[in-house]
Each structure stands twice: as C-alpha cells, then as structure tokens.
Chain A
Amino acid sequence: MQEGGAVQISADPIAIGAFVAYLGVIIAIGILSARFSSTGVSEFFVGGRKMHRFVVALSAVVSGRSAWLLLGVTGMAYTMGANAVWAVTGYITAEVFLFIFYARRLRHFAEAHDCVTVPDFYAARFGDWDGRLRAILIAVILIFMVGYVSSQFVGGGKAFAASFGLSPGMGVLFTALIVVAYTTMGGFLAVSLSDTLQACIMILALVLVPAIAIADGGGLSAIIAELRTIDPTLIDPVALSAGALIGFLGIGLGSPGNPHIIVRYMSIQDPDQLRASAVVGTIWNVVMAWGALFIGLAGRVYFPDVAMLPDADTEQLYPVLAAQHLHPILFGVVVASIFAAIISTADSQLLVAASSVVRDFYEKILHRDELIPQKRLVLYSRLVVVLLVIAALIFGLLAEQLVFWLVLFAWAGLGASFGPTSILALYWRRTTRAGVIAGLATGTIITIVWELTPRLSVLMYELVPAFAGGLLVTVIVSRMTRPPDDVDAMFASMKGN
C-alpha cells in the first residue's frame, strides 16, 4: 500500500468519497453554527457558555491531543514497548482532576465576572487595572499558539498530501482552508461540535486498528511472546529511568496551562455537569491512549526493525499498519483520524489566539471603557481568524524551522507559565498579580533554558522543573506583595455564590 513513505488511499474511490463526505459534514457544521456564533464575542469565543457536557468532554479531550497521540505515542510504544504507558498516564490523570475540581471553580468564576478568555480570568482575578498582566498573557499566547497552529497545518498538510498524492504545499493549503472555513463561520460552537465528531472518528480508528492487528497476529498472547523474543524490556513497563518516568508523568502538568483546553471548561452550560464530562472525557482519553499503545506494541511484531518502516520513521507506523491490515474504506477512516486529530487541535488553538487579539487586546486594552457593538467585534474576530491562518501559513511554509522550534517549547512553555499560576489563582487567596507575572516569566524561562542545555534536557522533561520553578516563584513573590482587597468575594464566586 505504501511506496517511499507515502501511504496511498487514492486507489479506492469509496475511501476518497467517505473522506470528502466527512469534510462536507465539518463544513456544514460551520455553516449551521454561523447564526448562533454571530450574536457576540461570548458566543463566538466560548459558545455563550451553553455547551453540552458531552461536547465539552470530547472537545476538551481531543483539543489537547494532536497528531502526537496517533503518530507520536504509537511510535513511542513501538520503540519503548509498555514503558510508553507512563507518557499517557500523567495527562489523563491530570485531566480527571481538572474536570472535577479546577474546571468547576473556573467556570463559576467565568460566569460571575463575564470572562470569555483565559486572560479575562487573570485580569478579573487580579484586578489588572493597567492591562499589564493581560498584555503579557496575550504575548505568551500569540507566540506559542501561532507556532502551534502553524505546525498543525504543516503536519496535517503532509499527512493529507501523502494520502492523496498531492504536493506537501497543496496539502498544507488545503488543511488551512478547511479549518478557516468552519472556524470563521461557526466560531466556538462549530469548533466544539466538529471536535466531537473528530473524537468519534479518532476513537473508532484507535480501537479498530489495534484490535485487527492483534487478531491478525494470532492474539495478544502471541504478540506478547513475540515481543519477549525481540526484547524482554518491551513488555516490562518499569524498565525506564526515574528521570524518564517523572518526565513522562510530568507531561500532565501541561494540561492546566494550555488555554485551548482550559477555555473548554469555561464553556459548559451547567458547571454541575462537569462531573459527567469528567467520566466521559476520561473514558475517551483512556481508550484512545491505550489503543495507541497497543498499536505500537503490535506494530513492533510486524516490523521488528525500524528500517522496515518508510524512511525508518516510527511515526509512520500507524498509517502503515492500518494500510496493511484494514479494508480500504476503513483505512480511509484511519487517514481521517489523523486529519481529525490535527484539525481538532488547530481550530481550538486558532480560536484562542484570535480571542486574545480581539477580546483581550482590541476590546479590553485598546478600547477599554468603550462600548463596541457585539456584531462588529464578531466581524473583527472572523477577520482575525483569517489573518492568523495566513500568518500561520507563512510561518509554516517559509519558516518551518522556527515553527518546530516554537512547538518544541509550546506544551511545556504554556504548561509551566499558565499551569501553576492558574492553579494558585483558583486555590490560594494570597496569590498576587506581581506573583503571577513573576511565575509566568520563570516558567517560560526555565522551559527554554532547560531544553537548550543538553546536560539538563537528558535528565528530565523540562516541564517538570519549569512548573516547579514557576510555582515556587509565584508563591515567594506573592508572599512579598499585597493580595487584591476583594479576594473573599472572588473565592465565593468560584463556588457559584
């Protein structure tokens, strides 16, 4: 099915038809959501806080899982075997606690203070009278998010091009065009509903592929026996160093710091329903992650030597294994799942970046104390989405190295800056604006320095020390400065009082 790394589905017109139908449904969601999203910025950027619990659950889960889950985790399990289990355990466990505890407080506060964006939350919580804190948050979001979106377009474009025999540039343009079409029209509602559809496609593919590959290989016992023959450590989940284990589990520290995930929690209609979202989201997270792990394990049996994979690239395992074991129509679902993973992350990140330009910069800094018609703000939001896509495309096509450099730090950088500061803002009354600014800077700086220092980066994933550093500095500086006067009222509003 594949030649020179390009996995072809173009041979089967039904598979192409199914894929085109899937894209048609996404565009239709954008068109149908357009009227609702045109009402105002709250509707365009946070769905008017009217999202259903299942939509919030699945949208929050898949927005955080890019192609890293489908291509990266499968490749990791191929290389490290059962040790890769820790790479998914950290973020899934973290998200259980976020859904049940953190998200409720944030959602209650967001409604009480009319917060549409994550910087809105910080500004309201810390009485950001001069907009300094908000400006720093906008800069952090834009730098990382545009790079993030850009990398998704490049990744999506390459997957798309490989599957349909297009040039990579055409694939990138096509991916961007699809995302811009439904995001511009339908805003947050379209993004959340399409994410829900993408979540269903992803889970279907991540259950089907390992199940069929394991069955074809003679069952799980036969796969385990083969893995033991290849390398006994592949079936031993604790054959890794303590630093690697802590680093893997530490991936979960990124979840409370990535605004495209956090904003999903703010969008639910009824905060009490976040418990149901927690259960549904966790089941989805677990099934998708362990599906990816089993793909990696089964794949190692079929391709014991990495040289057997196209370009000796472990990230090619998932489409290659699927092409080998599935009917062309089901293989079409697999290609759609890669595309779904990529665009469900890109659309959410794009909307967060656009909200920081229109809501945070234009409305709250540039035109503070002015009443701007909501329709005009929505129009500007749509224009900014288009402009950001163009910027992301230019980045992706002309400065690919810079994009990959930014993405290298994005999950950890955002996690180490927004993560500790948002948790303290929600749970510690003594947290101050100066403490948060210091924590944001510390988390970002440690992330970059740690990653760029080879002696440190081999010890542990940079997010763990950066998160700890950000937390510590926020606490120390907060202790030295004065907390907001109305902090008791703030905390009461987090409980819905």
Chain B
Amino acid sequence: MPLRFFLAMFLLPAAIIATAVVLALVTKKRET
C-alpha cells in the first residue's frame, strides 16, 4: 500500500479521533 495513501486513509482519521480524545482529557484535567 502506498505510504501517502495509508497516511491519508488510515492514519489521518485515527489522528483526528486521537486529537478529540486528548483535548477532552486535557481540558478535563485542567479544570479539576
């Protein structure tokens, strides 16, 4: 599988979900 295709079709969506999870956790921690 070409690398750029893999990055766009698999790593990018995973990174977006990870961003949401990390932001949710970081903002929660900052408030408590």
B1 proximity list for chain A (CB < 8 A): 220-221, 224
B8 proximity list for chain A (CB < 8 A): 82, 85, 237
Report yes or no: B13 in contact with A286, Cβ–Cβ below 8 A: yes
A96 proximity list for chain B (CB < 8 A): 16, 19-20, 23
**Cβ contacts B1-32/A at 8 Å (1 or 0 each):** 11011011100110011011101100110000
A306 proximity list for chain B (CB < 8 A): none
One of A89, A101, A236 near B4 (C-beta < 8 A): A236
Task: Kindly state whether residue A10 has any CB partner on chain B within 8 Å.
Answer: no
Minimum distance in angstroms from B32 CB to a CB of chain A = 10
A275 proximity list for chain B (CB < 8 A): 23-24, 27-28
Interface of B is mostly: helix
Task: Kindly state whether residue A348 has any CB partner on chain B within 8 Å.
Answer: no
Report yes or no: B16 in contact with A279, Cβ–Cβ below 8 A: no
**Cβ contacts A260-299/B at 8 Å (1 or 0 each):** 0000000000000001101100110010011001100000
Q: With the chains together, A220 CA to B10 CA distance in Å?
A: 12
Query: What is the total of A-B residue contacts with beta carbons within 8 Å?
Result: 66
Report yes or no: A282 in contact with B4, Cβ–Cβ below 8 A: no
Interface residues on chain A, size class: 20 to 34
Report yes or no: B24 in contact with A235, Cβ–Cβ below 8 A: no
Task: Kindly state whether residue A387 has any CB partner on chain B within 8 Å.
Answer: no
B13 proximity list for chain A (CB < 8 A): 286, 289-290
Task: Kindly state whether residue A93 has any CB partner on chain B within 8 Å.
Answer: yes
Task: Kindly state whether residue A92 has any CB partner on chain B within 8 Å.
Answer: yes
Q: With the chains together, A279 CA to B16 CA distance in Å?
A: 10
Minimum distance in angstroms from A276 CB to a CB of chain B = 7
**Cβ contacts A77-90/B at 8 Å (1 or 0 each):** 00000100100010
One of B16, B17, B21, B28 near A89 (C-beta < 8 A): B16
A101 proximity list for chain B (CB < 8 A): 27
B2 proximity list for chain A (CB < 8 A): 224, 235-236
Task: Kindly state whether residue A100 has any CB partner on chain B within 8 Å.
Answer: yes
Q: With the chains together, A100 CA to B20 CA distance in Å?
A: 8
Task: Kindly state whether residue A238 has any CB partner on chain B within 8 Å.
Answer: yes
Question: Which residues of B come within 8 Å of A, CB atoms?
Answer: 1-2, 4-5, 7-9, 12-13, 16-17, 19-21, 23-24, 27-28
5 contacts between A and B (CB under 8 A): A237-B5, A275-B28, A279-B24, A282-B17, A289-B13
Question: Which residues of A come within 8 Å of B, CB atoms?
Answer: 82, 85, 89, 92-93, 96-97, 99-101, 220-221, 224, 235-238, 275-276, 278-279, 282-283, 286, 289-290, 293-294
